[in-house]
Amino acid sequence: MPQSWFILGSMDSIKQNKMYRFLAGLTIAAYVGMQGWRTIFNNFAVEVAGLEGNQVGMIQSVREIPGFLALLAVFLLLLMREHRLSVVSVLTLGIGVGATGFFPGYIGLMITTLIMSLGFHYYETTNQSLTLQYFNKEISPWVFGRLRSLAAASNIGVGLAIFLLSNFLNYQNIYLILGLFIIILGIWGVLQDPTDKDITPQHKRMIFRKKYTLFYFLTFMAGARRQIFVAFAVFLLVKKFQFSIQEITLLFVINNVINYFLSPVIGKAIIRFGERKVLSTEYFSLIFIFITYALTDSKFLVSILYIIDHILFNFSIAIRTYFQKIGDTPDIAPSMAMGFTINHIAAVFIPAIGGILWMLDYRIPFYAGAGLSLISLAAVQWIRTQPENS
């Protein structure tokens, strides 16, 4: 029996790992914060703050800045240990979310959004880094999948909570409750010490190495694909197929329920089949998904595409585990920060360029997505790692 499957048979022991429990608790806090903020932001911005579309768009652009600047997290490691940076990031997220309702104006929302996003993106950077440092390559794909599963459950939970709370609380109180919940979990994190003294120290400077070129490229392409999905797939559902808010919400719930169960399975698939096969499956599928987005007139089919598309997001775990197999251990923290920045480069220009192309023909952004997927499919064939079978 392959060693990887023997290890997977003792996952209960991994769940007792101090770092796993630490990251699980903070992941719940992070996704409750981000999803809770996002769920009611547009209603709050319009109904309470009275913002116009251009102002909301600018705030959403500001929200992406911390992701683009994630590489600066490396310099914060000169001041604190990485797990402490995770906690500080979650506390920052909680403060930003909790304060949102108290500043119902354009400048106030821009500032609280920046604070909230800074906390979320820097937590995600350290979360990826700590997972790769504390769990070996036979285990890390499963851990990533399990954390994605917890994130999906958190998204469902906060959605239901907001649905109930909105019946008798105003936006300010809902944001405050969410912020306090996150801060409480952050304080719990302060009291934890999940570290292992035997872990290899990380470089506290930016790392950019030629041998990581394929990792950088795949990370950039994954960011571009994500932006096409986020910016145009949902817009297609609403604009062309007239999906109601109830239908969009139903798709959101279905996606998160499926991902709750499938994310750990995807992690196991990476362990069993290796990164090249898993990523090849993702990009090969995306070619047809994007083309079908452009051509279909079926509301049912486009709903299925949206769900499959969302599932395939989780396959990107394999890009990080690929780095774990080729990278030097001291490079993990700075490389994850660099990767997060590269992933967000596309957020700067893809929506703007895609929007212009949409005005010419709504199908063009999806054909472009198919082209990007084809390029990515060719690129992953250069991956030269093999799953551990002994």
pLDDT in tens, 362-379: 899 999 999 999 999 999
Q: What was the pLDDT predicted at 148?
A: 93
Instruction: Please report, in angstroms and rounded to a whole number, the separation of the first and last CA atoms in the chain.
Output: 8
Categorize the per-residue pLDDT at 40 as very low, low, confident or very high, splitting at 50, 70 and 90: confident
Does one domain contain both 229 and 365? yes
Does one domain contain both 146 and 210? no
- Which residue, of 164, 197, 230, is where some domain finishes? 197
DSSP H helices in the chain: 3-8, 11-15, 18-47, 53-68, 73-76, 82-100, 106-134, 140-165, 171-190, 213-228, 234-239, 245-273, 275-295, 299-312, 317-326, 332-360, 364-380
Q: Which domain holds residue 147?
A: 1-197
Q: Per-residue pLDDT for 77 more than 90?
A: no
Does one domain contain both 208 and 193? no
- Which residue, of 177, 197, 217, is where some domain finishes? 197
Give the 3-state secondary structure of residue 50: coil
Most confident of 4-13, 52-61, 150-159: 150-159
User: From CA 302, how far away is CA 142, in angstroms rounded?
Assistant: 30
Exposure letters 169-185 (e unless 16+ CB within 10 A, then b) = eebbebbbbbbebbbeb
* Listed residue (231, 211, 215) closest to 346, CA to CA: 231
Categorize the per-residue pLDDT at 55 as very low, low, confident or very high, splitting at 50, 70 and 90: confident
Q: Can you read off the two tokens belonging to residue 214? A: 């394929």
Does one domain contain both 313 and 179? no
Q: What was the pLDDT predicted at 347?
A: 72
Does one domain contain both 275 and 136? no
Does one domain contain both 184 and 204? no
User: From CA 272, how far away is CA 281, in angstroms rounded?
Assistant: 14
- Give the amino acid at 220: F
The domain total for the chain is 2
Does one domain contain both 168 and 217? no
Q: Which of 120-124, 153-157, 246-250 has the lowest mean pLDDT?
A: 246-250
CATH number at residue 363: 1.20.1250.20
User: From CA 9, how far away is CA 11, in angstroms rounded?
Assistant: 6
Radius of gyration of the chain from Cα atoms? 20
Whole-prediction pTM: 0.85
Does one domain contain both 167 and 209? no
Q: What is the mean pLDDT of residues 33-37?
A: 93
* Listed residue (114, 68, 116, 66) closest to 91, CA to CA: 116
Average pLDDT, the chain: 88
Tell me whether residue 178 is in a domain. yes
Does one domain contain both 189 and 214? no
Q: Which of 7-21, 128-142, 303-317 has the lowest mean pLDDT?
A: 7-21
Q: Running DSSP on this structure, what letter comes out for residue 269? A: H
Tell me whether residue 390 is in a domain. no
